[in-house]
Structure 1
Amino acid sequence: MHSIRRRALINAALGIAATGCVPPLIPLVTGQEPVREPARTTRRVRVTDPDWPSRAEWAALNGKVGGRLLELSSPFAACRNAPRSAACRDVLAQLKNPYFLGDDPALTQSSGWIDAWTSTPSVYAVAAEQSNDVAQAVRFAREHRVRLVIKGGGHSYQGTSNAPDSLLIWTRRMRGIRLYDAFVPLDCEGDMPPQPAVTVAAGEMWMHVYDAVTTRGGRYVQGGGCATVGVAGLVQSGGFGSFSKKFGTAAGSLLEAQVVTADGIERIVNARTDPDLFWALKGGGGGSFGVVTSVTLKTHPLPDYVGVVSAVLRASSPQAFRRLIDRFLAFYADALLNEHWGETVSMSPDGTLRISMLFQGFDRVEAGRIWQPFLQSVTETASEVRLVEPVRIQSIPARRLWDPAFIMKHAPGVMVADGRPGAAPDNVFWAADQTDAGRFTYGYESLWLPASLLDPSARASLSDALFQTSQQWNVSLSFNKGLAGAPEDARDTAMNPDVLDAFALAIISGEGAPAFAGMPGAPVDIAAARQAAMRIRGAAQSLRVVAPHAGAYVSESSFHQEDWPRAYWGEHYPMLDAVKRKYDPDGLFFVHQGVASNEWDPEGFTRLQ
């Protein structure tokens, strides 16, 4: 009883309705008839269509959402009118600040993708602050056949958080983080023991969640590595962090979610209430099944220490580089394929091996002992491999990893502050992620590499493939994004089961400077971008020689992914399709290469099936 009362108070503090998801379901919008099932939608309306909602209808929606309907325009309008003005300069100066990009509903964290999409503002946005705002927007879009878009952090490389001629549900203002010592999901009392957890509203970003849970709460929650990614979208896509080999994915940590479905009903979903929808939200892709307004995630005891091992090595010849790749893979298979290690190693056409590996669960002395055999082998082959940047092995108390004051004092330059006047002091992000802000993508390929490739009988073929790939384009191995060896309780998600047997996610990508629609300055060099895209695809094909049927991670993959249902979800796709048809039979929620998106044209306006 006490846990129920406590949850009600926390939900009230977060602005979350305390409605259950077991029958009877009650529409959030009181005083109205239940939503009538409309005729099957065959076409969504555009601004230029005569049946686009009238000004009066938009005004009525504004009244229902408490004046939180925004009419959007490009922030680059100031540049069109006065390209040398201070207002224009201010906008352009902030395009590498992810907080600025996230705080403007007309912008996204990526600016576009060659021959795919360009970031374009919606016509209107509901700046949702509570679940009723979301429900009203869903009902309006459904009744008026308006293209609907959902954006929290706006980090989608695929462009799924923006669309022209659309209504945006912008969850950025839905804020709140509450910690539990003993959480039990709704209707699970007696079936599930209480456990520490955190409830997070949809508009939060991981930097603030980590600060609350780890720095101040002394616990660990599995979130994203990039600190400015939105919480709800990451969970729905899977969600890897630096220590996923130990703690699994964000999706695997989900205990409960609150979601507004296409019927305008808010549901509290967990393993007991709407278990099929709950499972689909655990990696079935963001924006396909409803609008998530909050998530509750399990938290874990903190390890004593976390740390990093970094170095840059360069081989003297292609042959020496091939041997270096093989030597590192053998070392990884023997010493690092376990719950302690994550993050990346990358290989470049100039024969460079860049190491940036994070660890948890021991200190720098133990980390140095583990790496000693590999580093000794580098010393012994100094004639063919040299250190371009020295080996650094550092560790800190785990509680300080996301502590802005501590990091900025003891590791200056590792974090960057939001430099806008009046910005919150905890608005910080990793400096390494700044290249992602505003990026215009040329190409992006990912594939999960099965751990069987590390077996001695197969490793030579893997080394050959990685070498051939690296001669064409930079390739990185994200070891924390393969769950081979992860705990069993992290495995019950809707993601492609390929991730469970993978030792790493291979990523091959390239991008250019921000190129938002309407932005002044030199346009994208289309020929160069297309050439880069072709080389990236070719490099990926070289790696697919050893993993021809490997799946891909939905959040980090090609806009032009072939056979995407199998690549993203594998054998789980038919079940996800059934959940989609149950909760969204008319296809209100459309995202590029999302579940059942093949029923619509590429922009989501005309039904094809």
Structure 2
Amino acid sequence: MLSLYQSCMLSYTVFLLFVSVVKTTESAPNWNTLNETVGGRLHKAKPFSSPCFPDFDGISVPRNKAACKIIEDNYLNATYRSSQFGNFMNTQWESCMSTSAQCTLDSSDPSDSLAWTELPCDQGSIAPYYIDVQNYEDVQAALAFSRTTEVPCRSSTIGSLGLWTRNLDKISYNASFVPVGGSQPFPAMTIGAGVPWVDAYSFADANNVTIVGGYSETVGASGGWIMGGGHSVLSPTLGLGVDRVLEYKLVTPDGEYRTANAHTNSDLFWALRGGGGGTFGVVLESTSMVEPMAIPLQVASVSFNSTTETGLQFLRLLTNNSLQWAQEGWGGHLTSSGFISVTPLLTLEEAQASMQNAVDFVQTQNGTVVIETLPSWFAFFAKYTIPAQTAVGSADLAASRLIPYSLFETQEGRDSFIQLVTSLPGSFLEIDVVTPFLYNATENSTSVTPAWRNAVWHVLMGSEFVWNSTLAEKVAAFEFTNNCTAGLISIAPNSGAYMCLTTHFFLFQNEANVYEPNYEQSFWGGNYDRLLAIKHRYDPLGLLDCWKCVGWKGVDDSRSRCYPRVD
């Protein structure tokens, strides 16, 4: 029962930077020189599914049936995808959506031959070149290449240079970590940009500590998750990822290798704590405060086969109990047919009493109920999260909204949420209880929208399109998602949305509507102007430009041409 959009959620981190080649051509001397500079670690790349196709970029090529069979068997597998350069968790980002240049299989049946006989294979938005990053000098070389050729930077575009940070996979624990320039020690873990959360959790468990991180095993621990906000089912009590990060090591677009913390480059540190990945620099590692022990958790897992009627009844139960559960420290993922939640604040007996209403309802529906104590976060993660990873490889579109506690204080407010759900048939619904509701954050210490601080739920709704959708059908799917956004704004007009570009090696996923109106306010509240000033200070040429990131150049910029025009 994992979330569809996990922890601004799913797969291996890497931080990916793409450099759009706008004013240059792929001349051999340029690429050869770059390859020599990075020690021969510049590689060409094709889309993940290209071995299945009898053509590539308009040229006939032999199908590689053996390689294709491996891809078909693993097309929906997040772990396998995250081990490969040249694909995304959500396949719309592999393509140029406005022109349908893509190389995509049918996610409902990856072995269906129609996918490679009816449509061609094109490079789309997959980077044709990438660097296997081993150190900060490799990133400096990439950014120098960008600056000297006047190449702007962004997350995904036609004709790009990717930075593959998978091999930055070191993890360490220091019981008395002192940030550069500081004096106060903290128990902390330092994590390289290529480390997925499953490895970080295993390491933390071996050292008998607890670290706050993403809900999927392949979400990266030092990528977009920890720069966009970083929500967790432990966030209600232990805070967001940005609340706990102590230090970053990164290369900024001006080519400098920097340390950013509360004492050194503090403006950059503030921006990185919520300003979003792919904007202020290429982070090579992050250091985050940990709890100096493995924390026992009470776990509640309930599920039943819902109908439209019983699903709405269960959603009413969830809204009616939301404030009580928030005060008791429960965090988790809720749907109309069940939930998985955890809290470190209650005893087993208290947890059973807390969940009695939900248990009674589910049992009347002949559902399943488990309420138990597990000794640590990793024990919970291994038992409940890893076996239930959500399939990937489809084009899923999300709208998100942070739902404030005030909505749940009145019957009118609670009814408005139910009415919204019933007014948008065909939308998926996911309720993430991942807000830092009980966490005592220092005011203005991070750059995330302040809406996080008084929210109880992070709600996602949306749509999808399929491998052979026409441009009109894609636009319709985005327009439906826009309707979801409008509905969410109508019930929480003064709140915000979660802009989290989560990276997973070459893969990324965004939990916000890419056509979010008034995105500066939705994503960052009153922090946007300060973020923009910091952006200009460290990236005066705008190399790290991306869609609706801080400093975005707008829909008319050439690097935005693959996004369909949606009203």
Matched-pair contact (CA < 8 Å) for 2:126–2:158: yes
Matched-pair contact (CA < 8 Å) for 1:248–1:491: no
Q: How many Å apart are 1:75 and its aligned residue? A: 4.0
Q: How many Å apart are 1:120 and its aligned residue? A: 2.7
Matched-pair contact (CA < 8 Å) for 2:545–2:553: no
Distance 1:321 1:599 in 2: 41
| 3-state SS, counterpart of residue 103 of structure 1 | coil
Distance 1:448 1:469 in 2: 19
User: 1:149-207, CA deviations, whole angstroms, 9 ceiling, x for partnerless residues?
Assistant: 5xxxxxxxxxx3x3221111111111100100101100112xxx211001111111111
Distance 1:107 1:59 in 2: 25
Name 1:597's counterpart in structure 2.
Answer: 552
2:166 aligns with one of 164, 169, 172: 172
Q: How many Å apart are 1:492 and its aligned residue? A: 2.6
Q: How many Å apart are 1:90 and its aligned residue? A: 1.4
Q: How many Å apart are 1:578 and its aligned residue? A: 0.5
User: 1:79-102, CA deviations, whole angstroms, 9 ceiling, x for partnerless residues?
Assistant: 224447112211222222223322
Name 2:147's counterpart in structure 1.
Answer: 142
- Structure 1 runs (4+) deviating above 6 angstroms are none
Name 1:61's counterpart in structure 2.
Answer: 34
2:218 aligns with one of 209, 214, 228: 228
Q: How many Å apart are 1:495 and its aligned residue? A: 0.6
Matched-pair contact (CA < 8 Å) for 1:245–1:342: yes
Equivalent runs, 1:21-60 vs 2, <5 Å: 45-46=21-22, 51-52=24-25, 54-60=27-33
| 3-state SS, counterpart of residue 209 of structure 1 | helix
Equivalent runs, 1:409-558 vs 2, <5 Å: 411=383, 414=384, 430-435=386-391, 437-441=392-396, 443-456=397-410, 458-469=412-423, 471=425, 473-480=427-434, 482-489=435-442, 492-511=445-464, 515=467, 523-524=468-469, 531-555=476-500, 556-558=511-513
Distance 1:186 1:492 in 2: 18
Name 1:312's counterpart in structure 2.
Answer: 304
User: 1:432-482, CA deviations, whole angstroms, 9 ceiling, x for partnerless residues?
Assistant: 3332x22212x31111111111113643443443443465533222111x2
Name 1:107's counterpart in structure 2.
Answer: 87
C-alpha RMSD of the superposition = 2.8
Matched-pair contact (CA < 8 Å) for 2:398–2:460: yes
Distance 2:311 2:36 in 1: 64
User: 1:23-64, CA deviations, whole angstroms, 9 ceiling, x for partnerless residues?
Assistant: xxxxxxxxxxxxxxxxxxxx9644xx6x42531222121121
Count of aligned pairs: 499
Equivalent runs, 1:53-92 vs 2, <5 Å: 54-79=27-52, 80=54, 81-83=61-63, 85-92=65-72
Q: Amino acid of the residue matched to residue 131 of structure 1?
A: Y
Name 1:93's counterpart in structure 2.
Answer: 73
Q: How many Å apart are 1:490 and its aligned residue? A: 9.0
Distance 1:339 1:487 in 2: 15
Distance 1:321 1:399 in 2: 29
- Structure 1: any 5+ residue segments left out of the alignment? 1-42, 150-159, 348-352, 416-429, 516-522
2:150 is the alignment partner of 1:126: no
Distance 1:490 1:217 in 2: 31
Q: How many Å apart are 1:525 and its aligned residue? A: 6.2
Matched-pair contact (CA < 8 Å) for 1:73–1:123: yes
Q: Amino acid of the residue matched to residue 375 of structure 2?
A: P
Q: How many Å apart are 1:258 and its aligned residue? A: 0.7
Distance 1:200 1:167 in 2: 24
CA gap of 1:316–1:142, structure 2 versus 1, over 3 A, is: closer
User: 1:71-126, CA deviations, whole angstroms, 9 ceiling, x for partnerless residues?
Assistant: 22234332224447112211222222223322222222221169568663212111
Name 2:5's counterpart in structure 1.
Answer: none
Distance 1:228 1:60 in 2: 34
User: 1:248-300, CA deviations, whole angstroms, 9 ceiling, x for partnerless residues?
Assistant: 11111110101101111100111111111000000101010111111010001
| 3-state SS, counterpart of residue 490 of structure 2 | coil
Distance 2:552 2:421 in 1: 36
Matched-pair contact (CA < 8 Å) for 1:307–1:363: no
Q: Amino acid of the residue matched to residue 484 of structure 1?
A: F
CA gap of 1:188–1:503, structure 2 versus 1, over 3 A, is: same
Distance 2:490 2:51 in 1: 50
The sequence identity of aligned pairs, in percent, is 24
Matched-pair contact (CA < 8 Å) for 2:519–2:548: yes
Matched-pair contact (CA < 8 Å) for 2:401–2:459: yes
In the superposition, the TM-score normalised over structure 1's length comes to 0.75
In the superposition, the TM-score normalised over structure 2's length comes to 0.81
Distance 2:489 2:377 in 1: 40
Matched-pair contact (CA < 8 Å) for 2:449–2:522: yes
Distance 1:465 1:485 in 2: 28
Task: Name the larger-Rg structure.
Answer: 1
2:335 is the alignment partner of 1:346: yes
Q: How many Å apart are 1:551 and its aligned residue? A: 0.9
Q: Amino acid of the residue matched to residue 60 of structure 1?
A: T
Q: Which has the higher contact order (CA 8 A, sep 6+)?
A: 2
Matched-pair contact (CA < 8 Å) for 1:592–1:602: no
Q: Amino acid of the residue matched to residue 445 of structure 2?
A: D
CA gap of 1:263–1:537, structure 2 versus 1, over 3 A, is: closer
Matched-pair contact (CA < 8 Å) for 2:42–2:130: yes
Matched-pair contact (CA < 8 Å) for 1:68–1:127: yes
Distance 1:512 1:588 in 2: 31
Q: How many Å apart are 1:484 and its aligned residue? A: 2.6
Name 2:376's counterpart in structure 1.
Answer: 398
CA gap of 1:584–1:530, structure 2 versus 1, over 3 A, is: closer
Q: How many Å apart are 1:316 and its aligned residue? A: 7.7
Q: Amino acid of the residue matched to residue 247 of structure 1?
A: L
CA gap of 1:333–1:339, structure 2 versus 1, over 3 A, is: closer
Q: How many Å apart are 1:501 and its aligned residue? A: 1.0
- Structure 2: any 5+ residue segments left out of the alignment? 1-18, 55-60, 103-123, 501-510, 562-567
Q: How many Å apart are 1:505 and its aligned residue? A: 0.8
